[in-house]
Amino acid sequence: MDRFQQLPKVNLHHHLEGAVRPATFLEYVQQLHLPLAIKDLAEAHAYLQVSPGDQTLADFLIKVDRTLAITQYPGVLERLAFEAVEDAYLQNVRYLEIRFGPWLHVGQRRSVEMVIEEVLAGMQRAMAEYPIIARLIVCALRQHDPQQNLTLATVAPRYLSDGLVGFDIAGDEAAYPAGVFVEAFMRAKTGGLGITVHAGEVGDGRSVMEAITVLGADRIGHGIQISTQPDLVEAVKASGVTLEICPTSNVHTRAVARLEHHPIRQLFDQGIRVSLGDDDPTTSGITLSSEYALLADIFHFTDTEITKVVLTGAQAAFLSKSEKNALISQLQLELDRWLAQHSQ
């Protein structure tokens, strides 16, 4: 087994919509008689994954959103959530946070509550079968009506005891500034949810500080655009906020031109708290293990530095203090064993 496959891991940035198994997608396309020209597994892979012709974040999101064709039907999300947790377990992930946009999946269901409950049921079924901790983050969308996002922020905390632990927002940062969503985020935070915000993925890194100061972000999804502005780097460092960084995704969305230009090494060296995610692994054709391999092969992280990235993820997890301490203790023991076996 590859040493990064063996590495015990934490994944804080994992979109359900971008993590659908191509085989499962194909099965539902055929079962539901959907009008898609997909006849076999190779065509399903090609349909869901980025290609050289995809040049922008918008192109990338078109591929992610293709899975919505099957998620509108009751029962599908339960299976997808189960498989997402199962796949994480097979990658030696000890703690997983899945995020998804509930309003995208209402379809034939009567309410956003039914969507959330279906995903939680799949996750709980997987946790009953595999030794992994999985939690859920709901993702609002900047382009949605603010009232829709406020409704989601009101509903979500009701499921805190069932494993829904976080609130996020994604979408065009420039077109929809943070101020519009303050009420939703304050309601989510007051309800006990952790706050993570997609910001500084593309465009201006100043949206990262807006997310922290205006929306109360505990973590930032991506955040890499702060790397060219030393004042922002220092401000984010002082805040103690963790960046959820997904290198391959950032190349596929053209947030950076090439992997070699990615600032994860720079940000880590500057003292920014960095965790590693896989974002949309089906869309990008990757695994979390392959992302960790990049840390070593492309960005020259030592094995000790790699274990620090894992532990940073655990420290930033949306868990209670006792749950987090137990996770960190378990990981520290396992990471020490991994270092002893694989240290360079």
- What are the tens digits of pLDDT across the range 115-156? 999 999 999 999 999 999 999 999 999 888 899 999 999 999
Average pLDDT over residues 186-197: 98
pLDDT exceeds 70 at position 316:
yes
CA 310 distance to own-chain centroid:
15
User: Could you tell me where the DSSP H helices lie in 130-284?
Assistant: 146-155, 182-190, 206-213, 230-239, 247-252, 264-269, 281-284
Q: DSSP for 252-304?
A: HTTSSSSGGG-THHHHHHTT-EEEE--BSHHHHT--HHHHHHHHHHTT---HH
Average pLDDT over residues 210-236: 96
pLDDT exceeds 80 at position 174:
no
Residues 344, 339: Cα–Cα separation, whole Å: 9
Q: For residue 251, what are its two tokens?
A: 């190349």
Residues 292, 65: Cα–Cα separation, whole Å: 26
Residues 271, 151: Cα–Cα separation, whole Å: 37
For the chain, percent of residues with pLDDT exceeding 70? 99
Q: Which of 83, 86, 118, 201 is catalytic?
A: 201
Q: How many CB atoms lie within 10 A of CB 129?
A: 12
Q: Could you give the angle at the alpha carbon of 83 between the alpha carbons of 105 and 117, nearest 5°?
A: 40
Among this protein's residues, is 201 annotated catalytic?
Answer: yes
The pLDDT, as a whole number, for residue 202 is 87
Residue type, 43: E
Q: For residue 87, what are its two tokens?
A: 């796949």
| Least confident segment among 27-31, 63-67, 157-161, 268-272 | 63-67
Q: Delineate the domains of the chain, giving CATH numbers in brackets.
A: 3-342 (3.20.20.140)
Residues 294, 248: Cα–Cα separation, whole Å: 9
Average pLDDT over residues 151-175: 93
Residues 26 and 38 sit within 8 Å (Cβ to Cβ): yes
Q: Give the predicted TM-score (pTM) of the model.
A: 0.96
Confidence band for 175, pLDDT divided at 50, 70 and 90:
confident
Residue type, 305: E
pLDDT in tens, 79-104: 999 999 999 999 999 999 999 999 99
Confidence band for 344, pLDDT divided at 50, 70 and 90:
low
The pLDDT, as a whole number, for residue 177 is 80
Residues 165 and 137 sit within 8 Å (Cβ to Cβ): yes
Residue type, 139: C
**Number of residues that this document lists for the chain:** 344
Distances (CA, A) of 323 to 218, 316, 317, 319, 330: 18, 12, 9, 6, 11
pLDDT exceeds 60 at position 1:
no
Average pLDDT over residues 163-175: 89
Residues 176, 74: Cα–Cα separation, whole Å: 31
pLDDT in tens, 39-83: 999 999 999 999 888 778 888 888 989 999 999 999 999 999 999
pLDDT in tens, 238-251: 999 999 999 999 99
DSSP structural state of residue 144: S
Residues 270 and 236 sit within 8 Å (Cβ to Cβ): no
Residues 296, 303: Cα–Cα separation, whole Å: 8
Average pLDDT over residues 186-205: 95
Q: For residue 93, what are its two tokens?
A: 């992930």
pLDDT in tens, 248-286: 999 999 899 999 999 999 999 999 999 999 999 999 999
Say which residues have a Cβ less than 8 Å from residue 18's Cβ, sequence separation at least 6.
64, 67, 279, 280, 281, 282, 283, 284
